[in-house]
Every structure is written in structure tokens, then in C-alpha cells.
Chain A
Amino acid sequence: MSEPLLQVEHLKKYYPIERKWFGKQGAVVKAVDDISFSVMQGETFGLVGESGCGKSTTGRALLRLIEPTGGQVRFDGTELTALSAKELRMKRRDMQIVFQDPFSSLDPRHTVQRILEEPLIVHGIGDRQERQRMIRELTDVVGLAQSHLQRYPHQFSGGQRQRIGIARALSLRPKLIVADEPVSALDVSIQSQVINLLQDLQEEFGLTYLFIAHDLSVVKHISDRIAVMYLGRIVEIAEKDKLYSAPRHPYTQALLSAVPEPDPDMRRARILLQGEVPSPADAPVGCAFHTRCPKVMDICRARRPELAETGEGHLAACHLYPDTLQEDERIHS
């Protein structure tokens, strides 16, 4: 864990919701609004937040599965945002994605064999025999049987399908896997099987994960560092133990306190947030969280807090931490 494998800077993804009118800029939804973070080699970096916070868009925009509106993504020494389509395709060998829905992310008309072989063919890897050998190896690694290779996705359960999706992502021996809610659609007993598998694979192949999820307990279990998103912005980044034991941002505090723990003795004091997440088409001015924040101050309504160091690699975007403010003023003066 020395140098960053992935470095995201000022990433933005805006969706227009109105046509431009005589040069007047139409309204946009800021799905991802200027976020920066880096993921170290061999690390599992968790990205959490509630629906609509932009976590999945982030995952896709940085792989350029959707084109970002702005910002830079540096991956393994290459500036991804500057690559041509052809160069990008070559680079895709090193970065793969596992999707949430194991039902819609596998082609129903292809056998597992074909699903796993396709990436190898696209990248011209090995001859037919060698590919066969590689596929057999993959199925072993993810815990599927050889007899499964001739079957179609609908013949599998959700957990097995997710194993197929993982095998596909793994087939090119990538360095980075973006796992977008990989266990959310699975039952508890199956979920733990898949989480254990992901951890085993990381150890075996030295993988780096960007793990996107809304389940805070799962994210804590698997991640080294975690970023919390709210309305298209990162509000806090920290090592997981620090984040869970001493969350800085009021949103993180409320989010963590809202999770029901599977322990009847743990009924904790809960910070009940009022209201709901505002529409990203009409995000509040200043701090995006100020409409629901129990600790809101005047400045929060006026100025957007920057994500800044609050000590020991713990970053928060909140006016409660005066460092942020001073730095902000230094820039402005």
C-alpha cells in the first residue's frame, strides 16, 4: 500500500435536464459534483451513501463507462480521460466492474462458457485450448463446477450468478475491480459467501477494489478506507476504524446511528434526520446537507465547505471544523 493505483481529481458528471435555449445554459442534475479521492495499490476503498448520492455514477464515470463531464482520472500512471476509444479498450483489461444485479448483467442467450470466454477473445488472449484451460481455472477459483459451463444464466441462483459475474471480471487478471453493490441483491447467507470470495480473490491476485455499497456494515467489514457521499459530493473520507468510531461529518454521524444492529442490547441513541434528500436538480446552496443538518450554522447556507484534512488522514467537508474555514478564507483573501 504505497502509491495510489487510482487517482480521481475533480470528477464531475452532469446530466442536462433542459434543452439549451439560444446559448442559455439549461438546467443540469449534478450527479457527481467535483469529487476527488485516491485508491492505493492493494487497498479496498469503500464508497457509501444513500440512493441518488452519485456513488454508482462515480464508479462508472471513472471507468469511462459513461463519459465524465469534467475532471481527471489517473489509473496506473495513465490519464484515462485523455485516452482514445481504442487505447481505452486496451486499458480496460486492467480495470473491470462487477454489477449489482446478477440477473440483468449476464447475457441470457449465452452459456457461462461463452460469457467467460468473450473478454479473452476480445483481447486476443491465448488460443482456443489455452482459453479453455483458463476458463476451467476461473470456475474453480470462484467456486463453480465445470458442469456449470454449458448452462445458461437463468439456470443459476442469484449467488451463483454473482460468482459468474466475478469470474468474468477476473478473466483478464485486472488490477482494479469496481464492485458496484455486488452483494445487495443477495440473501444474508449467500452474501457472506460472496464477501468471503471477494476477500480471498484479493489476497490471491493482489486486487484493488473500489467497493460501492449502501450497507454500512458490509462496507466496514470489507474496506480499508471509506468515503461517504451525499448529493454528488464526498462529505468525509477516513480509515474505517476512525470513520466508524469517530465520524466527523454530521451526515456520517446520522447515517451510522440509523443502522439497526443485529443485537437487541444495542438499542442506541439515534440521530433521526428530518425530511429527505433534496433533489440533485435543485441542490441546496452552500453545504448540500444544511437543510437536514442538526448542527447547521449560518455559514453553511452560504458557502460550500471543502473536503479538508481534520487530522491523521481524516478528511471532512464541514464548517464545524475550523481548519476548513481558515483554509477557505486564506484562498479567498
Chain B
Amino acid sequence: MTQPILQIEDLRTHFFTDRGEIPAVDGVSLHVHAGEVLGVVGESGCGKSVTSLSVLRLIPSPPGKIVGGAIRFKERDILRLKEREMRGIRGNAISMIFQEPMTSLNPLFTVGQQIREAVSAHRGLGKKEARAHTVDMLRKVGIPRPESIIDEYPHQLSGGMRQRVMIAMAISCGPELLIADEPTTALDVTIQAQILDLIRRLNEENGTAVMMITHDLGVVAEMCDRVAVMYAGKVVEEGTVRHIFKNPLHPYTQGLIQSVPRMNEQRRRLFSIPGHVPILHTQMRGCRFADRCQHVMPACYEQLPELVELEAGHRSRCLLHEVKFKEDVV
């Protein structure tokens, strides 16, 4: 693995609301290598979707605004591009699939028209070529009878089919990075299995890098090479999928993994993390997880821990590590 194709550095995306400034993404740094699948996991409100929308500069403004940081895509700083240049990247080099395939497709246009829009805009294909390319794409994502589906409207398709159409649209220009924001959350498990299989094939066959935003730890374990765990606008742990599942270091990651019921074992009681996610504001001090943490120390309320590398490629943001580190040195 060489230079990452996407590098997010200290990203801060805030929302300015009636109730004050909300730091939804509060200093997030992430990177995605070419051909890699990065999972970004966390619960609702942790900032994972806002991070992904920031990459494509799709944050609704107002109320949202990227107030700091840098996003480099192949050495270009996305945050400094003109809107026109940005349009050349969206749907072309970076594309995105969303959770709700019904609301993210335009109900007034046929499937074919919507996919064609991207190819005509970015590839300058003529009408006939664009149609042929669209049929190819639909076939590639496993849509039966693509020649007739191309002229259907989104409401005529099932949820799984719509998600396939979204994916066909997203890959129509051969993106180098695919951002998938909860791509299977609205789908049933048997359909989810089909869609995950499709995304994995795209990754393996075309080398498309994938940034997979999800709350489902099962999907992460199955799909991802590396994982970033987010909590309250910050990355709390980052590592390979094996690091995260076999040797989680942050108390939040540990709690999260233990609280999921599993099919291959029976526990009488599930582990549960007490309390709930804090309401974000700009005056927060200390560790965001302190209130719910079973290892909390007085210092946790005062000092925000750094994201420290504890073994190669495995970073965690917790004061416990620093205490332990000092003990080890002594």
C-alpha cells in the first residue's frame, strides 16, 4: 500500500442551529488506500455520515459548514476546489450510494435517464453509446432484463433493485472511490447479502476503494480491511478489522462489540453500555465517552485523550493507554 487516495485531516464540520453550534465532526482524521475497504462505524449521531458527506462537499449549508481541516483526494485539496471542479469529481472519480434508495432516486425520471445523466456529463458519450453503457452497467449489477428495466421508473422496482440501480449509477463512470453510506440498512438480510456480494466484487475486480459507513458490526467484519470507530464526532479507535474485533482497545469499542448478540454463542445476559450518547456542543471538555465508561478516572473529565498508535496501524483515544504507558516506562 502506497500513498492513500483519500486523506482526511482534522476535519471539522459544524452545524449552526437555533440551539447553538454543534460540532458534528470534531477533528476527524482518516485515510483510504487505493483498493482498500475502510469501514466507518458508530451509532446515530456519531458523525459518520456527516464525514462522508463532507468528502463530497454535500453538507447542506446553512446550517452546516466545514470550519476546519483538509480533505485530500489524490493530492488535491477538495475543500479548496471551485464548485465547477468539484462537480467534475462527484459521480466521476468519487461516487456515493445512500441508505434510502427510494428518496435518493428521482421519481420523475426513468432509471436509464438518471444513469445516463452521469455518463453524458462526465464521459461525453452520445445518446446511443450512453444507452448501451447504461445497459452494461445494469447488467453488471445483476439486474435481470436490463433492456426493459432501463425504461422503468424507480417506484416500479423493489428496494433491492433500487439499490442496484444506485450502485449502477455510482459505478457508471468507473470511480476510484465509492462511498457507501449504510447501503444495506433498509434491506432484508437475503437482499443485503446480494448487495454486499456485489460491492465486494466491484472492489476486487475493479480495485475500487470503498469507504463503508455503517452501524452494523456484522457488515464491517465481513466487508472491511480496516475500521475506524467513531463516537460523538471523533474517531476513538482505528485499526485493521482484526485489531478491532480481536483486540479492541478503547472501552467504547469493547462495549460495542460485547453488546451485540451473536448467533454462534449463547450468553445469558448481554453486556450493555449504560446511559446514552452526549448532546454535542462546542464547550465540551475531556473524553466524550467518560460518562458511560466503566474505567472512568477523574482526569477523563478534564483532558481529551489523543489518538495514540499502540501497535502498527492500531490507534486508540483513551487515557488508560497513557497511564499504562507511563507505568510501563517506570
Contact = CB atoms under 8 A, between A and B. Distances in A.
Whether chains A and B associate is yes
Interface of A: 50-51, 157, 159-160, 187-193, 195-196, 199, 214, 216-218, 220-222, 241, 244, 254-264, 266-267, 270, 272-273, 275-277
A68 to B, nearest CB: 25
A235 to B, nearest CB: 13
A130 B326 CA distance: 58
21 contacts: A50-B189, A51-B188, A187-B43, A188-B43, A188-B256, A188-B260, A189-B256, A189-B273, A190-B43, A190-B276, A192-B261, A193-B273, A216-B263, A217-B260, A221-B267, A256-B263, A260-B192, A260-B216, A260-B218, A262-B262, A264-B242
B148 interface: no
A255 B261 contact: no
A56 to B, nearest CB: 14
Interface of B: 43-44, 144, 158, 160-161, 188-194, 196-197, 215-223, 241-242, 245-246, 255-257, 259-264, 266-267, 269-274, 276-277
Contacts of B222: 260-261, 264, 267
B271 A192 contact: yes
A145 B194 CA distance: 45
B241 A258 contact: no
A203 to B, nearest CB: 11
A42 B310 CA distance: 49
Given A255-B190, A261-B263, A273-B193, 10 more contacts: A189-B255, A189-B273, A191-B259, A192-B272, A214-B189, A221-B270, A261-B221, A261-B262, A262-B262, A276-B191
Q: For B189, B219, B242, B257, which residue has the most chain A Cβ atoms within 10 angstroms?
A: B189
The binding surface of chain A is classed by DSSP as helix
Given A192-B271, A260-B218, A272-B193, A217 B188 contact: no
A216 B189 contact: yes
- Sorted from nearest, which 9 A-B pairs have the closest CB atoms? A260-B218, A221-B261, A50-B188, A192-B259, A187-B43, A262-B217, A258-B193, A192-B272, A192-B270
Contacts of B274: 193
Given A51-B188, A188-B260, A196 B197 contact: no
Nearest to B259: A192
B260 A276 contact: no
Given A50-B189, A157-B276, A259 B261 contact: no
B272 A196 contact: yes
Nearest to A158: B44
Contacts of A258: 189-190, 192-193
A283 to B, nearest CB: 16
A259 B263 contact: yes
A255 B263 CA distance: 12
Contacts of A266: 221, 264
Contacts of B272: 189, 192-193, 196
Contact of A262 (B44, B192, B220, B269): B220
Contacts of B270: 192, 195-196, 221
B218 A189 contact: no
Contacts of A157: 276
B39 to A, nearest CB: 11
A188 B218 CA distance: 12
B303 to A, nearest CB: 24
Contacts of B245: 262-264
A216 B260 CA distance: 12
